[in-house]
Structure 1
Amino acid sequence: MEAVVLAGGYATRMWPITRHRPKMFLPLGEETVIDGVFADLEADDRIDEVYVSTNERFADEFEAYLADSAFEKPQVSVEDTTAESEKFGVVGALAQLIDREDVDDDLLVIAGDNLLSFDVAEFVDFFVDAGTPTLAAYDVGSRERAKSYGLVELDGTEVVDFQEKPDDPNSTLVSIACYAFPRDTLPSFDTYLSNDNNPDEPGWFVQWLQSRQSVNAFTFDGAWYDIGTADAYLDAVAHALDGDTLVADDATVEDSELGENVHVMSGAEVVDASLSNTVVFDDARIADSTLERSVVDEAATVEDLDLRETLLGQHSRLVGN
């Protein structure tokens, strides 16, 4: 079996903190967003190759990250894009990767910005038993939230209806970005695209496939975070920290109150400040300020301010009166 980790997006909804880094490298406690996926794929002996599908802009960063990591399976596979406007769409990028890497095996596809509460091996077990295209499905518990995903209707484990981003969801069970395809279905990517179907969201492809053959769903409980916005990222940080604080050994924290889910990274300085649900990157400085649900990027400065739900980019400086 081969696997593709989707990491080709530019995360424009999270700028400026993702303007110069892939969001998959944002910290979640002691790890990064993508580490959990890599670890699961590394541990499963059924998976021989892992392709990290990314763009030209971030390819060197992924190469460097993997070279410094303990992961042996992942290898970078580069899409020919350097900006959001040039993207092929997820389905288009997958079709190109299948051709570029000469993939001819069962294929696992998983988004690198997923924080999952199940072991990927469980999903692969289910796929092997089902013998059909398979998706992972999760109850988001909100019809409003369900509008942003592919809605799944099941008979047992079989998908009997799939609607991509419906305006009026009739349930809250949605497909997440975790799929598996038997090798004999891989030519369907080209067939789908050759008929001018939507090349972007993989849900459109799954909806098209489900109308033509049996598709099954692996459902799970627990937590799932689709880290596509700052709110979702901070929620994932809270899940990873579980109410604790994490302060690097060489960070400075003086006369400050650190509330729940605060991560202060290497070389950062926090003086006379109050922080909660906030991530402070390397070498940032916060003084005489209160921050809640915020991210302060590398070498940025905040002084004499109260901030909530703020993203401050690298080397930025915000100073109150």
Structure 2
Amino acid sequence: MQAIVLAGGYATRLWPLTKDRPKMLLPVGETTVIDELLSDLENDDRISDVFVSTNERFAPDFETHLEESEFEKPRLSVEETVEEDEKFGVVGALAQLINREGLEDNDEDLVVVAGDNLFSFDLDEFIDHFEEQSTPSLAAYDVGSKEKAKAYGLVELDDGEVVNFQEKPENPNSTLVSLACYAFPSEVLSQFDEYLSSDNNPDEPGWFLQWLQSRQTVRAFTFSGAWFDIGSADGYLEAIDWALAGEPLIADDATVENSRLEGSVQVLPGATVSDSTLARSVVFPNSQVTNASVDDTVIDSEATVENIDLSESVIGSYTTVAQDAEDEAESAEEATEVVQN
């Protein structure tokens, strides 16, 4: 069995945090977003090869990351794009990778998972389910409310079999979200080209699964627990909150002085926090936070935050956000206008 980890997105909704780094390499506790998945795949003896599918722009970042890791299975497979508007769509990129790496000729089943998803189950549980069913499979998570479900692609099930799909519906029939976690028997791989040659939607794998479900049985692996889509700053902070379980995490060479860290706060190497209060926030390497109150905020590398209150913000790298001491009484709204350097 082989595996593909999708890591080719440009994450424009997370800019400036992901303008110059792939979101899959964002730190989450002691690890990164993508390393949670790579670790599961590395430890599963059924997986022979892992292809990390990325773009030309971020390929050097992933190459360095993998070289410095202890993983042996992953290797890069690079699509020829450097900007968002050049992308082939996820299904198009998958089909190209299957052809580029000759996966169709290997007669091996294939696991496909998005590199920006965190979930509480181990991938070996999903693979167990797939092998038991011997049919195309997807992972599905119950978001618990139809209001939340409106933002996602949904599935309806009959005794574990997928019987209907809805894509971001105004009136959901289900609260089960179809996650970007799939498994395909080897004989399905040739159908990616068939799907695309018929001018079907090349963007999201869910459309391919819907097309496939009209031709054969597709089953769902459902799970409870946690799932996070790292597509926004709030989604990223939710994942941090889950990983840290409500406790601060301070790197050994970070400095925290005369400060209060409330709940899930991650302070990365080289960062300095002094005379401040932080809650549910991340301070990236070599940033400085002084005399500030910060909550629900991500402060990128080499940034400076001082004499200010911040909430629900993303502060870009090398940015200074400061308020003169005599102006501290001004409103936070006026004070948090940020210009990216």
- The correspondence of residues 36-47 of structure 1 with structure 2, limited to 5 A, is 36-47=36-47
Among 314, 321, 324, the alignment partner of 1:311 is 314
Whether 1:165 and 2:168 are equivalent positions in the alignment is yes
Which residue of 2 is the match for residue 188 of structure 1?
191
Question: Corresponding residue for 1:269?
Answer: 272
**Which of these residues, 180, 196, 199, is aligned with residue 177 of structure 1?**
180
1:82-97 correspondence runs (5 A): 82-97=82-97
- Aligned AA (2:45): D
How far is 1:144 from its partner? 2.3
Q: CA deviation at 1:260?
A: 0.6
Aligned partners of 1:163 and 1:207 also within 8 Å: no
Backbone CA RMSD of aligned residues: 0.8
Residue aligning to 1:78: 78
Determine whether 1:152 maps to 2:155.
Answer: yes
Equivalent runs, 1:210-249 vs 2, <5 Å: 210-249=213-252
1:88, 1:168 → 2: CA distance?
30
Contact 1:24 1:112 (C-alpha < 8 Å) held by counterparts: yes
CA distance in 2, matches of 1:167, 1:190: 31
Offset at 1:107?
0.7
Mapped contact 2:260–2:278 kept (Cα < 8 A)? yes
Q: Which runs of 4+ in 1 moved over 3 A?
A: none
CA contact (8 A) 1:262 1:275 kept: yes
CA positional deviation for 1:310: 0.6
Residues 196-244 of structure 1 show CA distances to partners (whole Å, capped at 9, x for unaligned) of 1110011111111111110000011111111111111000000000010
1:276-319 deviation line (CA, Å, top 9, x unaligned): 00100110001111000001011100111101011011111111
Structure-1-length-normalised TM-score = 0.99
Count of equivalent residues = 321
Q: What is the CA-CA distance between 1:176 and the residue it aligns to?
A: 0.5
Aligned to 2:132: 129
User: Which ranges in structure 1 are unaligned for 5 or more consecutive residues?
Assistant: none
**TM-score normalised by L of structure 2:** 0.93
CA distance in 2: counterparts of 1:24 and 1:141, whole angstroms: 26
| Long gaps (5+) in structure 2 | 325-341
Quick one: which amino acid aligns to residue 44 of structure 2?
D
User: Given that residues 2 and 47 in structure 1 are in contact (C-alpha distance below 8 angstroms), is that contact kept between their aligned partners in structure 2?
Assistant: yes
SS in 2 for 1:315: coil
Residue in structure 1 matched with residue 284 of structure 2 by the alignment: 281
How far apart in 1 are the matches of 2:153 and 2:185? 21
Aligned to 1:52: 52
Whole-angstrom CA distance in 2 between matches of 1:221 and 1:252: 38
Provide the C-alpha distance between the structure 2 equivalents of 1:125 and 1:316, rounded to a whole number of angstroms. 47
CA distance, structure 2, for counterparts of residue 27 and residue 49 of structure 1? 24
The structural deviation recorded for 1:151 is 1.1
Q: Distance in 2 between matches of 1:26 and 1:142?
A: 29
| Deviation of 1:145 (Å) | 2.1
Aligned pair 1:204/2:204, yes or no? no
1:68 corresponds to 2:57: no
